[in-house]
Amino acid sequence: MGSSTGRIFRVTTWGESHGATVGAVIEGCPPGLALDVAAIQAELDRRRPGQSAIVTPRKEADRIEVLSGVFEGVTLGTPIALMVRNKDADPRAYAPFADKYRPSHADYTTEARYGLRDWRGGGRASARETVGRVAAGAIARQVLTHVGVEIIAWVDQVGDIGAAVESTGVTRPAVEANIVRCPDPAAAAAMEALIRAVRKDGDTIGGIVKAVARGVPAGWGDPVFDKLEGDLAKAMLSLPAAKGFTSGSGFGSVGMRGSEHNDRFINEGGAIRTASNRSGGIQGGISNGMPVEISVAFKPVATIFQAQETVNRAGEAVPLKPRGRHDPCVLPRAVPIVEAAMAMVLCDHWLRTPRRL
């Protein structure tokens, strides 16, 4: 029913925005992994609300609870159940909108699909659902560490303000050095100022998160329908507020000729590499040993604190003035979510690879 992803490393998330709990069940995690629960918590801390002045003020500690699949600190190879309790839910703020369709939200479409919906903060359509993805992604990262894969994402653009960084030099400390999670300090300051100004106006703004996976060997992925970049695209476009995905040169390739865009193969110390990486580490749907590079575009958050017009269930025109606690820009908290989604896909493809590299 759309709540599970992955073929071997399979993740199912559950829970609603203002329900009792949210979480995930992970199947296919290899046995014998010394699970670092503190590392899972660290990723949830990067995603949680209330962490800075430019995100939603909802206060959630997001403390992880491991319910199954782990014994004496080691994974058993059986399903791992992870749970986080919602502590600061406030469904009363959404009661006035129970029969109104909020612009650009999933209210109308969810009712069209199921005939009913959980109107408390958007239910399953809320970004609160990504708690389970981040927890599962943190486990996938620990698996990938054993094969030398490192994943780093960062805010590359907010509105019309872009960062001037090369993916080869981006580090986690540089990303975490400011609340925007942009490794370009000057751009980060401008982005923060823009987000604060947008919030003051009762509005929201979007942008782009970029990510790179280093250490991915050649040979991960399948041709045709299960291409690595195809699965990455599905994972990223399934994230709340995501509206676009590219890998490598992306849309920038349309203005280039093949003679400019082709990545020339070279022998680098006995290893086959490419002199450039416009393919973004993937060719023919299969990794080529270069860093896997992607970009994800996020729209402005749909909830704005300005009066709007909409309709109710009866089709009557009604005014709408949203309440609640929302991010003026999803980008800073989207960084760990993008990393988690990328880790889940890469972990699944590693486990699917007939020839373990």
Predicted pLDDT of residue 355:
54
Q: Return the closest-CA partner of residue 80 out of 42, 38, 31, 131.
A: 31
Using one digit for the tens of pLDDT, what is the confidence trace for 203-220?
Answer: 999 999 999 999 999 999
Domains of the chain: 95-134+148-352 (3.60.150.10)
- Model confidence pLDDT, tens digit, residues 54-82: 887 777 889 999 999 999 999 999 999 99
Q: How is residue 231 written in tokens?
A: 């699965």
DSSP for 193-227, please give it: HHHHHHHHTT----EEEEEEEESPPTT-S-SGGG-
Residue 8 structure tokens? 């071997």
Q: What is the pLDDT of residues 2-32, one digit of tens each?
A: 899 999 999 999 999 888 899 999 999 999 9
| Cβ neighbour number for residue 276 with a 10 Å cutoff | 14
Render pLDDT for 135-174 as a digit per residue (tens, 0 to 9).
999 999 999 999 999 999 999 999 999 999 999 899 999 9
Alpha carbons 58 and 52: distance in angstroms, whole number: 11
Helix extents (H) in the chain: 37-47, 107-114, 130-145, 172-175, 185-200, 228-237, 258-261, 331-352
